[in-house]
Chain A
Amino acid sequence: MLDIKNLNVSIDDKEILKNFDLKIKSGEVHAIMGPNGSGKSTLANVLSGRKGYNINGKVLYEGKDLLNVPIEERAQRGIFLAFQYPTEIPGVNTNNFLKTSLNTVRKYRGLNELDSLEFIKLVKEKSENLKIEKKILSRQLNVGFSGGEKKKNEILQMTILEPKLAILDETDSGLDIDALKIVSDGVNSLRSENRSFLIITHYQRLLDYIKPDFVHVLVDGKIIKTGCSDLAIQLEKEGYEGVGEAK
């Protein structure tokens, strides 16, 4: 699914990711944990195509080079980023945005576009699962949403767009325990053999609900340790420094 080889990323002259390697197979759930400034969000941004980075190295997605593909095409091909800070877009109705987005992606995948009725039915079902209040969807995109509502809205978009590779950038931060559980249930219900997840987080807490296949510890732009989900528990106890020394 995703194969990152010797990836170097910098902004201006500041190196952020250094000789970074990561392989994600279909159906796998990978968690990346690391302290502030270790390069976690940069990784999410580079994979989704955000501009402003100097990038060297190779990233293959479904066997094809990814780095030269425009942002929207990456999304159409199934890469989804759940934003750490979802952007507010005043004036744009949330439902309308979702519908436009879904139909663009469906068109790319050779599926028929959904009409308003079909779309409303789909959204109703998915948003009920996530316990999202209907009135939120008729509001302006992310405008005036609480932190939890914004994050749930990201997960709603993910369940509707059905990506192949979902990247969750600190989706758990700012969530209370109930919201965290709802979000995790949403992710778990999407787990399947042909969908992979890359979950970026500070805390082990999220991984109590979403059991990853692999946990990677990212420090200073490099993966210093990889393990199974137990590694997250060890991290919580010993901190990044402890794990780093253990290496």
Chain B
Amino acid sequence: MLRKPIGVWFSIALVILILGAGLGWKLGQRLAAYRFRYQREAAAKLPASERPHVEAVFSALTTVTVSRLYAGITTPNPSFRTKALQSEIATLNRARQRPDLQDVRPIFDLNLAIAYVRLAEEESETQQAAQAMQSAHALFQSLGWKDDSDDALRAAAKRELDFWNPDFTKKAPPK
């Protein structure tokens, strides 16, 4: 029988060790996540029947904030800004169409309306801008906004954007 030199043995063993560690790492992560979820669910005061719905709502609301933060990032590249807004709109549209999230649909509607106004700002003077503004108007009306004029909606969207993405480079006015 051919005996391999010790270097080959060692190399193969090392590769197996590294692969095993990688596999173990993933397994360990899953175990920790499972344990964490189990402990949290045991401590939660939610009935088991309500749990899937609350988890779905929680996850969707987290996504709303994350996608808004992502779309709010200031960049000098207008095409990136437009793409980020379109992605936010697609995410929110998907969420508001889910049957299990209908009770929180107004939250998606508001964020979607603001995203449409911002998209209209980005795509100024185009047919897409007019369509976005029209969609925003319909959503704001369904939410019962008192003033849904273009200027009021633009001002509201700008305030939202400024809050999420403050301009730290802007100097404070002199006292």
- Decide if A and B are genuine partners: no
